[in-house]
Amino acid sequence: MGARGEASIYLDGPWSHRSVSANGTRFHIAESGDGPLVLLLHGFPEFWWTWRRQLTTLSEAGFRAVAVDLRGYGGSDKPPRGYDLVTAASDASGLVRSLGEANAVVVGHDWGGMIAWTMAAYFPKVVRRLGIVSAAHPVRLRAAVLADPFGQGRSSKYALGFQMPMLPERQLLRDHAERVGELLESWSGPGWPDPATERTYRTAMSLPSVAHSALEYHRWLLRSRLRPDGMRYARTMKTPVQAPTLQIHGALDTCVRPRAARGSGTYVDAPYRWRLIDGAGHFPHEEVPDRFDLELRSWLLDPEPER
């Protein structure tokens, strides 16, 4: 990775950077603080830096916050395979163990949220608590797309364009990844992102192999639906979540609509808390970080979160 690539990933702040091996893959992490582990999983089209605010606030609240670049993103390995949710959940579960812990609070945004839901079903002993941001439960999302074709179905239409080979990568990267900025702006509430934030995400997506890896997650989700692996996944994901769960969603989210996400509580057989944040879109942890952090911290510090 050249100097420009290094600068776009290993951004300075009150955290440290290192690599950790898990599930046969090398992952880049940024970490801060000491205490119970909170593993932070980013979404599309971002990377670990989306959690820069929470790395600070969680460490100040007495937690060990670790933000990881998912397989295929940022400073992590970019192998040709493994962009299904089960492998991604295996990656994250392995990271918890590689970080020296038996379990962790897992907080995921967007695709990171889908991975977090998957961890709770496939590796329940690893998930002490579950934080979901701007992500419907995978079974609920599938149902919402079919039941509401002019709502969530239309909102998910962008993923259909990612199914073609090679062309979507070129479109995503054209004009220094201008499409990344368009997606960020269209999914968020008014006034976000600022030019510097947009530039950071566009630069990170422009690193070699990142765009292809990012789109492979979307391709697996749609293409596997009628394959044996996808049908096994759907059956397993009906297993009720046994970890206390917080679900935070922006009221203005046009990527995953609030009414699609809210039904996810059906799949949680544990204390469950739903919080809708007015004025925020798909990125509430970045758009309105003060309100987001208040909800997350109060839930983490509550020894008995309510149903």
For residue 53, the one-letter residue type is R
pLDDT at 262 over 70: yes
**Residue 153 φ/ψ, nearest 5 degrees:** -60, -45
**Residue 258 φ/ψ, nearest 5 degrees:** -55, -40
Q: What pLDDT is attached to residue 133?
A: 98
Which residues fall within 8 angstroms of residue 174, CB to CB, at 6 or more apart? none
Q: What is the pLDDT of residues 218-229, one digit of tens each?
A: 999 999 988 999
Nearest in space to 65 (alpha carbons), one of 88, 85, 42, 94? 42
pLDDT at 118 over 90: yes
Q: What pLDDT is attached to residue 226?
A: 85
**Residue 67 φ/ψ, nearest 5 degrees:** -105, 130
Pairing of strands 64-68, 127-133: unpaired
In angstroms, rounded to a whole number, what is the distance separating the alpha carbons of residues 169 and 113?
23
Confidence bin at 2 (pLDDT 50/70/90): very low
Confidence bin at 104 (pLDDT 50/70/90): very high
pLDDT at 52 over 90: yes
For residue 245, the one-letter residue type is T
Looking up tokens 């945004």 gives: 109
Return the percentage of the chain with pLDDT > 90, whole number: 88
Domains in the chain: boundaries: 3-300
In angstroms, rounded to a whole number, what is the distance separating the alpha carbons of residues 280 and 272?
21
Pairing of strands 127-133, 272-277: unpaired
Query: What's domain 3-300's architecture?
Result: 3-Layer(aba) Sandwich (3.40)
Cα–Cα separations (whole angstroms), residue 79 to 115, 175, 210, 213: 18, 26, 10, 8
Compute the residue count for the chain: 307
pLDDT at 7 over 80: no
Confidence bin at 1 (pLDDT 50/70/90): very low
